[in-house]
Structures are given as C-alpha cells and as structure tokens.
Amino acid sequence: MQHRPIPLEDFFRNSERTGYQLSPDARHISYLAPWNDRLNLFVRPIDRPDTEAVRLTAETERSLAGYMWADNERLIFSKDTAGDENYQLYGVRLDGSDLRAYTAFEGVRSGIIDDLEEQPDFILICMNRRNPEVFDPYRLNLTTGELTLLAENPGNYQGWMTDHDGKLRAAVAIVDGVNTQLLYRDTEEEPFRPVLTTNFKDVVSFMEFTPDNREVYAATNLGRDKTVLVRMNPATCEELELLYEDDRYDVESISYSRKRKKLLSVYCTGHKEPVRHYFDEEERQLRKRIGEHFPGRRFGMADSDKAEEHYLVYVGGDRTRGAYWLYDATTDQATHMADLAPWLDEAEMNEMLPVDYTTRDGLHIEAYLTLPDGLNLDKARNLPVVVNPHGGPWARDTWGFSSEVQFLANRGYAVFQMNYRGSTGYGRRFLEASYKQWGLRMQDDITDGVKWLIGQGIADPARIAIYGGSYGGYATLAGLCFTPELYACGIDYVGVSNLFTFMQTIPPYWRPMLEMMYEQVGNPETDREQLAATSPALHAENIRVPLLIAQGANDPRVNKAESDQMVEALRQRGITVEYMVKDNEGHGFHNQENRFDFYRAVEKFLQAHL
C-alpha cells in the first residue's frame, strides 16, 4: 500500500506540547509549547485545561534547551546563544514573576549537579567561569542569586556527585590524560582523596548512594566485558554484591525511589524490547497496572510528584511521536494530557524493523530497517535506500520513532541504521574494537551492512545514498571517499572531514580529554599516516558523486572549517556540492525554519540523485 506524501513540515515542526513535568506537590503541570515558532515554558494548575496555562518565557531567537522544577513555586530553565552550547541558567516563578538570570556570563557553560529536593531555596550547579577548560561546583541561592563556590576544580575533575543530603561526596578526574580516577570523602569538611585509578576503558560509575549514604550502587565492567550493577564501598571501590548482569547488554540506568529510599529497578537498552529487572515488587506491580492502560504499547515514566502518587507517563512506539498521560496511582486512573504530533496519523507511518548481520571479521551487528509503503521484508525488493549511520560515534541507535526516518520512508526510501562497532551498550570488547578505526573497520561495518542489504535483494545497488550527522557526517564522507562505487550520492550534516583540524578546534572543556581522544581516534603525531589516510578532506579527489553539506556557523564541536575545507576541495575539482550554512545554529539545526530548509534541500537532492 503506497502512503500519500505527507507535508514535510508535519514531520519537522515543533511538537504541540512536549517536555511535561509535575510540580513536587502535584498541584501544577508544566510543558514546552511553541510561541513565535520557539519552544517556550508554560504552566497551569493540574485540574485546569491547557487553555488556562500561563506562558512563563518569551524566547524568540531559540527554543529553550531544558527546564526543571526547583520547588513548588519556581522553575529553572536553560538556553544557549545561536547554538554555541554555552548553556545559561534562568529562574522564574510559576506566576511569571521574578524572572532572573542566574548564570548569564559570556562564554560560560552551566549545568545542574543536584536539585537539592530537601532544600527548596538552593540547587547545586557547575560552571566553567573561572577556567573555560574545567567546571567548578557552586551552591546557587535561588532567592538571592548568590553563588557559593564549593570546591575549586584542580584542573582535571570531570564530574561531581552528591549523596541523598545534597553533600558533595565524590568526583571523577582524568589523570595522565588517559586514566580515570575516582575521588571520595566521607564529609564535606574533608578533602577529596583518590580511591581508584583505572584506564579510561574501565567503567566504575557511582550511580546513586544507598539510602544510608554509606555505600553506592555502581555500574562497572572491571574484569568483565559487560557493565553490571553492583553494591560498592565508595571509600575503597570494593565490590560488595553483584546486583544484576545481562549477558548481552550493558547496564544503562537504575530507578530509585527518594520517598521510599529504595532501589527499584535496573535497565538495559535491548534491540527492540527494553531489558528491565526489578528489585521491588511494589514497583513491578505499579508498572504492570500502568501497562494495562496501554496494551501493546511502549511506555516510560517521565516524571512523578514528591509523594510518588502521580506519574507523568510517556507512551510511544516506532510509528508515533508519542503522547503524555497523567497516572494517579491512588485511583488507578490514566488521563490523556497531549499528543506530541496529533497531525501525524500512525497508520500512515512505517514500521521500524530490528534486523542484524555479521561483519567480515565476525562481529554481530544490530541494525534497524524502515521500509517504505508499508512493505514487509518478504516484499522489499530493489528499493532505493538511505544508509543512515548515527553520530557519536560512542552512542547508539534505538528502536522508536524518528521524524527523519519516517519522512524518508514516506518519500519512498528504505532507511538503514546500524550500530557499528563502538556503539554503546554492547560491552567493552565491542566498544574498544572501534578505537583508532575511524574510516577503517568502523566504516567496514557500514559497508558490510550495505552489502548485506544488496545480497538480500532489498537494496537496488544503483540507488543507495549515505546520510549522517556529526560522526555520521564523517562516515558519509568516508563512504564516498573510500567506497565510492557503493553510493549514488551523500549528505553530510555537521560532519568531521579532517581528523587533524577537528582535534585542533574542539571546545576548551574537551581539552583535558585530548590524550584519551588520541587513543580513541588517533594521535596527530604518532598516527599521522593513518589520520592522513582516513581524513576525507585530504582525499576529495576520490569523490565522484553529488554531495550536500549542511553546517551551523557556531558549532563548538565540529568547527565550520571542517565543512568549508571539504566544499573548497570538491569545488576546485568541479564536483557538484551543495552547501547550506545557518548563521544562527550550532551542532545541528534546532530552529524550526532551519530544519524545514534543510529537509527541503534533502528531499530535492535525493529526488535528483536517487
């Protein structure tokens, strides 16, 4: 069944309402919604309709980056400037009064360490105001705006952790460029002391203190391939008890009840179905009751009130942007709050199929294939395909809804996404198999996936495009340079083109991790020949098919020079290259009108060349 062409804007316009959260007392509900085409913050009493919501912000340049409830009366939100990723924190009362800038310092990036739930007037934040390369922790008084420096980062601390009382008890540092060190103290009066130093490839991550603040729940892969969940002594990093391990996937997150002071569950991302293990029967029954309201649906807890009686539940899947529901655990009632994209009909979307294949050197790769026109695998033959490697590269694709995947499928293309080596969640060996393999075995994994599609008869070998963002943009350029016979065209979105210049233009706060990047990507001195061989900008003469490049002028991660030099090298040789630069964007296009421009260009480009 051929689906009708759906207007491009329907896939990429801002959600009608999104990012729902509950106030701690469950009396108010907040969300982000478009105002002047930018996502702004709205709030309303929980028992009133959205038509009575108060708009708290008036951003017209750029959507808010995120927000949270600080207490029952005040919300904190963050925003950057034109994509520079220097996020600044602001506060506003729920009636819209007392709007104040807490960290509006030029060129400074702020983040939140702890919302200090039991201390309504304070939160803990981190900022690189004193030194752009490192983040110091501060206590922020939300009433006065006063900032108190809690500890001075000696220059290599990468993160801070609090206990359940909001005390700074642990820190993570980089030592010698490539080793990770855990530091700990019993009280805030003591100095931090190193308790464990390992190579950065070893994971020991404190996730949450135990209820008595004496031990920690930690994720670790020490002496193992997969990351597991253990109970650990933070003063020595001795493992006290193995709580959960999965033989296929890394432990990703845990769920902890502040109210009941209890570890509830642990979670791993599976190929399609999530892997969840319960430590608490009450939590299992709660999720079972919620699930009965949404048979056959994927759901997740988006938020809860402090009493853990009201829950915001996100309900989604692979063919819908999803919906928010409010669940009252005291009455077992679920109330529909909002659909994120009510204008998209689920019946007109296409299924995302989990598939897998084996690489030339025997690695098992999990992938996703979305077929156009409601086709199934039996009927998918000789299709035009868009190969879409994810960014990161130390990230992963997951099963679920993707606007761009659905858009491309609606336009008649099959979309192929693969978790090539280095994708996270599959254990240490799979991750480390990617080190110093940009453009080499990581690229082979993509190539092997394309050859698998051709071998299955799904892909028309003459009509395959490659498109990706960030590392996926690099993989696009590498694919066109090093396997030019495979692809009819390519689209590079904020992608790396030259591994030498890329590492010279990283943000200042990545500098302490530069030695680590040299181990992961390659050292410009000792691996010079390899980096030269795998930098697409230095091999532009191999590209012989049309290319579309899109770039944000203020991108702090992949500098605009990465795209400039690629475009210049191609144009000198007379290769067709379309170049889109947005002056008010960074690493990816966030403003709605820029997204529209980009995907219009993508649609036209693929129509012409695929």
pLDDT tens digits, one per residue of 156-181: 898 999 999 999 999 999 888 889 99
Is 216 among the domain residues?
Answer: no
Q: Is the pLDDT of residue 399 over 70?
A: yes
Return the SS3 of 587: coil
Look at residue 576 in the predicted model and tell me its pLDDT.
Answer: 80
Render pLDDT for 79-115 as a digit per residue (tens, 0 to 9): 988 888 899 999 999 999 999 999 999 999 999 988 9
H helices of 351-498, in order, are 403-410, 428-432, 441-455, 471-482
- CATH number, position 429: 3.40.50.1820
Return the SS3 of 115: coil
Is 460 among the domain residues?
Answer: yes
Render pLDDT for 263-313 as a digit per residue (tens, 0 to 9): 999 999 999 999 999 999 999 999 999 999 999 899 999 999 999 999 999
Of residues 275, 259, 365, 273, the one with CA closest to residue 311: 259
The CA-based angle 412-414-418, given to 5 degrees, is 155
Q: Specify the pTM.
A: 0.94
Whole-number percent of the chain with pLDDT over 70: 100
Return the SS3 of 220: strand
Q: Which two tokens stand for residue 4?
A: 């009708």
- Please tell me the distance from the alpha carbon of residue 488 to that of residue 399, in angstroms, as a whole number: 27
Contact 578, 549 (CB under 8 A): yes
Name the pLDDT band for 574 (thresholds 50, 70, 90): confident
- Please tell me the distance from the alpha carbon of residue 148 to that of residue 380, in angstroms, as a whole number: 61
Q: Is the pLDDT of residue 16 over 70?
A: yes
Look at residue 259 in the predicted model and tell me its pLDDT.
Answer: 95
Is 592 among the domain residues?
Answer: yes
Number of domains in the chain: 1
H helices of 514-591, in order, are 514-520, 528-533, 560-572
Q: Is the pLDDT of residue 466 over 80?
A: yes
Residues contacting 153, CB < 8 A, separation 6+: 130, 131, 134, 135, 136, 137
Q: Is the pLDDT of residue 255 over 90?
A: yes
Query: What is the 3-state secondary structure of 368-387?
Result: EEECCCCCCCCCCCCEEEEE
Q: Is the pLDDT of residue 1 over 70?
A: no
Q: Which two tokens stand for residue 478?
A: 């590498």
Position with higher pLDDT, 22 vs 133: 22
Name the pLDDT band for 451 (thresholds 50, 70, 90): very high
Look at residue 51 in the predicted model and tell me its pLDDT.
Answer: 87
Look at residue 237 in the predicted model and tell me its pLDDT.
Answer: 97
Is 175 among the domain residues?
Answer: no
Peptide bond into 45 cis (omega under 30): no
Query: What is the 3-state secondary structure of 260-305?
Result: CCEEEEEEECCCCCCEEEECCHHHHHHHHHHHHHCCCCEEEEEEEC
Mean pLDDT score of the chain: 95
What would the mean pLDDT of 53-74 be, rounded to a whole number? 94
Domain of 436? 346-609
